[in-house]
Chain A
């Protein structure tokens, strides 16, 4: 079974046209000693059996409906309206490819243009591409762009930027002449943790191509970006801003307003469930002056021969299929379907809906913190936050998280030791508009009984 419709009679007739005796004759260019290996694979499964098998694998994973979950750290459980997946299951969307032939792909192209517009409106930036792989590779590409524009060797990254994003960016520049410097941007004061951007601002110098900060940062804190932006301006460095949760842009001042040169982030939470971390979609927005250096696809508005409004892939001379080794990036396939989901979601939520879920997330997180405090926890975050905060776990986050899961049946959050060993006793707790009062009660009582 291969979904191939040809019958043996079809094949025989086609072989006659081709002038071959058998299908084997078509493979004679393969060195004979390596031809026709036996593939050791399990037997083929009809549809029903495949579903049964995959369901069994799925049943061995805990979902968010199995137990309360306060996991965030870049992937948030946000409300995705029902119409989103109904649209994503339309063949016209998901079984098409990159709109190389614009006359047959106006749907995809206009949706890309609308996506780019929504990203610009959310971030306050001038231009957006049609997406990169994920938040992490979007950061990596931003760093590469800044290196290319400034021709400076140093990249300064706050340690409060998502640790996986930092790692990916470091991998991307590993073969290039780039000095990748991670600088602490948060400090412990006893149990608490507070932002401290002075070391970051001080680290920026005339050899710095860009400085990378995150908002809200990986610890959930909303930090005044001005000192870092001003230091960057003084030294002619670019400012890259990672958006921790796109929904936070329903409340927070857009990075374009405080001087960001590039804004990147992960948009998965707007388009569907976390799917174990992928496919996500990397947002990438910047200033008009940099448009010809942007990596990836961009849709543009134009007209057809009759003067009718139309959309087309534009500025393609940036891209690998035209520019080859001089392209701005090697990216080809992006995350179009995920961005389509985000586009539809943002359209359906609209101005008021996005603001409401952002506010509800904020309320849920602050009420969660209150409930934890009542249960005897100490909230470590000593800074404004939207929907994510750190709670102190005496004796270490890892051990406490395991007890909370095993004894209290909650996934209480993420061990912040992944940011820096200094934070090994902090748990990152996220709440959203989908967090229920029951979830919070469960967390608080689990906390109390695991003290």
Chain B
């Protein structure tokens, strides 16, 4: 594939792209309306034709791999099929062309959708209260920790620490810091679960909460979850659950039933809203009743047949989004849940878990499985056997690219050497999994017979491996404005 020039390189002075609308009013000269000192003298944007712009971005799109291209088993990201009906409903004019400041009386359908979605998510997770305001999982985490801190404060307590297992997503400790908490790392036990003894030692009157991921990032369900919850509660702390992996639990367990206090949901993972090349997501927050007064606001409330917006209550942590969150994605997630129903959701979890276990069982002869027991929606392999042959997990990942498959998440969780974290999701068929297994086995053979094939992979992608060191040392993060710019 050839280099695609920058959009700026398709520019030619005086060339026109799309036309602005016909003026509706007699022109007001900007220099009559605004002081000269406030007006800019140049606007260095490209001048490209419409067809060139269309072709440019079309050609760029061809350089991407996507869920609709082929398998995308990125662990912890739940790259499932994004149903097309969701894109249709999200573009319904009545759900897209609505303004956040139009009066609630003129947005009853939108408010009802938010209200009903919160109720559906409550039913799925077992929590009595849900806020769909957070824009993504990380913002949900921040809301969750701030809510927990506010709850402690309401009881006259100030707690300063958060416990985070060493297998956690990096967002968890980063959120702890943003919440002003000291982050204490908890080691993982030999079976991949939480080390109860260590937990007990770490729990003191300074601990505000533990943030755990369920199933864990090792793809394992925490077998001692009830003991963990009891220990944490006995110490007066709260249990925060990172819900990135909710896809494994749909219809199989409601996290609230386990005694968890707060949980965020990534609607762009479990509930099929597209990942958009990096976003937007949506990160609903679900809480037990004692934390409801602290949820972010405004919230949608029902008053008889009408839906209203209630401003944040005095106890609320406040607002975290300009408006009511990523509404467009709420429409998609709502469509998804209504499309699947209870049975469909449970089937999704069942097939996601079966698919992951099928990969585990099928690949354990060729790759090390550090925690080789029944996994949930994802399986963590280790390229440790291949490392002894001089091949790294990175090489395995890059070789997968040559076979047209997106690599799994690699080198995460960080507690697993040479980790390959594979999440097939329920929307891959047995044939698709068999193809992946076949390719992974072939790569294991290549590692033995022709390791350079892996070292020099990929060779079938738009570009080969990149010089990331120079990119970091001398960052070039924008087009260099040329001296002869307009």
Contacts and interface: CB of A to CB of B under 8 A. Distances in A.
A183 interface: no
Contact of A95 (B275, B326, B374): B275
Given A104-B401, A278-B322, A348-B50, A81 B18 contact: yes
Given A41-B337, A71-B99, A266 B328 contact: no
Contacts of A289: none
Contacts of A164: 319, 321-323
Contact of B101 (A51, A106, A353, A414): A414
Interface string B308-350: 0000100001111111111111010011011111111111101
Contacts of A106: 60, 63-64, 462-463
A149 interface: no
B353 A23 contact: yes
Given A1-B344, A351-B486, A47 B85 contact: yes
Given A94-B274, A326-B177, A360-B23, A251 B341 contact: no
Given A1-B339, A356-B20, A329 B429 contact: no
A21 interface: no
Interface residues of A, number: 213
Contact of A41 (B33, B79, B341, B472): B341
B16 A352 contact: yes
B470 A302 contact: yes
B22 to A, nearest CB: 9
Contact of B320 (A57, A137, A251): A137
Given A41-B341, A71-B101, A89-B87, A435 B81 contact: no
Interface in B71-92: 72, 74, 77, 79-83, 85, 87-92
A117 to B, nearest CB: 4
Contacts of B26: 363, 367
B289 interface: no
B470 A363 contact: no
A199 interface: no
Given A3-B427, A175-B149, A333-B136, A92 B99 contact: no
Nearest to B476: A301
B221 interface: yes
B351 interface: yes
A74 B322 contact: yes
Given A105-B65, A135-B322, A338-B280, A302 B481 contact: no
Contacts of A29: 220-223, 374, 376
A337 B93 CA distance: 19
A113 B56 CA distance: 14
Interface stretch (A185-193, A229-237, A339-347, A442-450): A339-347
Contacts of B24: 360, 364, 433, 435-437
A127 interface: yes
A128 B478 contact: yes
A357 interface: yes
A316 B358 CA distance: 34
Given A29-B374, A353-B19, A65 B97 contact: yes
A383 B92 CA distance: 39
B471 A321 contact: no
Contacts of A316: 472
B27 A253 contact: no
Contacts of A306: 464
Interface stretch (A204-212, A269-277, A372-380): A269-277
Contact of A37 (B89, B91, B253): B253
Contacts of A63: 93-94, 97-98
Interface stretch (B104-112, B194-202, B231-239): B104-112
Contacts of A172: 142, 178, 320
B68 interface: yes
Nearest to A141: B178
B128 interface: no
A279 B135 contact: yes
Contact of A224 (B38, B345, B350): B38
Contacts of A399: none
Contact of B170 (A11, A64, A122, A321): A321
- Among A101, A144, A414, residue most surrounded by chain B Cβ atoms (within 10 Å): A101
A85 B87 CA distance: 11
A332 B141 CA distance: 12
The secondary structure that dominates the B interface is: loop
A157 to B, nearest CB: 14
Contacts of B401: 101, 103-104
A340 B275 CA distance: 13
B62 A302 contact: no
B463 A2 contact: no
Interface in A110-139: 110-114, 116-118, 120-122, 126-128, 130-131, 133-137
A411 interface: yes
A95 B38 contact: no
Contact of B69 (A91, A175, A333): A91
B102 interface: yes
B354 A11 contact: yes
A175 B180 contact: yes
Interface in B154-178: 169-171, 173-178
Interface in A259-303: 266, 272-281, 291, 297-303
A151 interface: no
B68 to A, nearest CB: 3
Contacts of A419: none
B278 A37 contact: no
A147 to B, nearest CB: 11
Contact of B350 (A23, A105, A322, A436): A23
A451 interface: no
Interface in B19-53: 19-21, 23-28, 30, 33-35, 37-40, 43-48, 50, 53
Given A15-B354, A42-B341, A277 B322 contact: yes
A73 interface: yes
B466 A102 contact: yes
A360 B280 contact: no
B48 A92 contact: no
Given A50-B338, A74-B322, A349-B20, A363 B25 contact: yes
Contact of A304 (B89, B337, B466): B466
B280 A337 contact: yes
Contact of A61 (B109, B340, B342, B376): B109
A336 B58 CA distance: 16
B303 to A, nearest CB: 16
B34 to A, nearest CB: 5
B280 A279 contact: yes
A384 interface: yes
A445 to B, nearest CB: 17
Interface in A382-403: 384-386, 401-402
A101 B85 contact: no
Interface string A63-96: 1110001010111010101110111011111111
B186 interface: no
Interface string B386-415: 000000000001100100001101001000
A336 B135 CA distance: 13
Contacts of B88: 51
Nearest to B274: A94
Given A39-B251, A275-B96, A18 B277 contact: no
27 contacts: A18-B358, A41-B120, A50-B85, A50-B89, A55-B89, A60-B112, A61-B110, A77-B99, A79-B20, A81-B17, A89-B87, A90-B58, A98-B279, A103-B398, A104-B401, A107-B60, A121-B45, A135-B322, A162-B322, A273-B98, A274-B100, A278-B323, A297-B278, A298-B475, A347-B46, A350-B46, A351-B44
Given A120-B478, A171-B296, A350-B11, 13 more contacts: A1-B344, A37-B253, A40-B123, A54-B113, A87-B57, A94-B277, A99-B277, A130-B278, A172-B142, A278-B329, A320-B171, A338-B279, A350-B16
Q: Which 9 A-B pairs have the closest CB atoms?
A: A58-B94, A277-B323, A44-B341, A277-B100, A337-B276, A60-B109, A336-B278, A91-B68, A279-B280
